[in-house]
Amino acid sequence: MNVKILLEYDGTNYSGWQRQKNAIAIQEVVEKAIFKVTGEKVNVIGAGRTDAGVHARGQVANFFTNCRIPVARLPYAINSHLPEDIVVKGAEVVPDDFHARYSAKAKVYTYSIYNAPFPSPLLRRYSYFFPKPLNIEAMERAAKAFIGVHDFAAFRASGSSVKSSVRNIKRLEVKKQGDLVIIEVEADGFLYNMVRIIAGTLLEVGAGKRDPEEIPSVIRSRDRERAGVTLPAHGLCLEKVIY
């Protein structure tokens, strides 16, 4: 049977979701835990290939198993073999053609900026510290320009090789929660580093280094050099995968 699982993890100590040489990946840790439960060497397919240091509150994955443990008990069984920074929060049997990545209709990511004069020890692992004041209203205006179907070639890591860089951003919101500025973005798919570059571009707008009105021309340029910096991984979190 094909099992879909929901995962939360703190990416701080991992090389990212995907198996790597010389570094421990979340996928690998989850596969080993499943092996301990089922005795099967499964391939766990993740919806989002989160990078090193990126977190997830709602990663989705699937794997095939002949295990007879009731699916409702599986999260408890797998969690008993997982470290405390990775947790399976749910499991259900899905049709065989369900593929965590290819079946996904959309994904939601957040990028958290801690915007206060001094860094926060309690939020340091899950947000990027930026001490200068941010103009949220300007960031909101800039965010609107990203929404819709565009070629986001300017907002992907240079050197990435995916054929099409056209994506549909369905929602891009900038929210202030206390000292946190949270950028929340929903799209049908994301290019490599896309959220971190959009967040870096919006941060530059918020800091007054860039005009919100210039975003449409940056998108049209398809030129990575015209967009903002790639913000660090630890502010990024995969919130939800929509099927």
51 as an active site residue: the answer is: yes
Residue 114 binds its own copies, judged by CB under 8 A: no
Residue 55 binds its own copies, judged by CB under 8 A: yes
List 70, 95, 121, 159, residue binding its own copies (CB under 8 A): 121
Residue 152's Cβ-count burial label (10 Å; 0-12, 13-18, 19+) is: buried
List 16, 48, 53, 75, residue binding its own copies (CB under 8 A): 75
List 24, 28, 85, 173, residue binding its own copies (CB under 8 A): 85
Q: How far apart are CA 145 and CA 161, in angstroms?
A: 25
Interface of this chain with its own copies, residues 12 to 51, rule: CB under 8 A: none
The neighbour count for residue 120, using CB atoms within 10 Å, is: 14
H or E element, residue 47: none
Q: Which residues contact 78 (CB under 8 A, 6 or more apart)?
A: 5, 30, 33, 34, 37, 88, 91
Helix count (H) and strand count (E) of the chain?
Answer: 5, 10
List 9, 17, 152, 155, residue binding its own copies (CB under 8 A): 9
Reading the block at residue 185, the tokens are 């973005």
Q: How far apart are CA 201 and CA 195, in angstroms?
A: 10
Q: How many residues bind its own copies (CB under 8 A)?
A: 24
Residue 84 binds its own copies, judged by CB under 8 A: yes
Q: Which stretch binds its own copies (CB under 8 A): 44-52, 121-129, 166-174, 203-211?
A: 121-129
Residue 53 binds its own copies, judged by CB under 8 A: no
Catalytic residue among 51, 97, 179, 188: 51
Residue 187 Cβ vs its own copies, minimum distance, rounded to whole Å = 22
Question: 220: helix, coil or strand?
Answer: helix
Residue 117 binds its own copies, judged by CB under 8 A: yes
Interface of this chain with its own copies, residues 208 to 237, rule: CB under 8 A: 237
Q: How far apart are CA 142 and CA 167, in angstroms?
A: 18
Active-site positions read 51
Query: Given the rule CB under 8 A, which residues bind its own copies?
Result: 8-10, 55, 57, 75, 79, 84-90, 116-122, 124, 126, 237
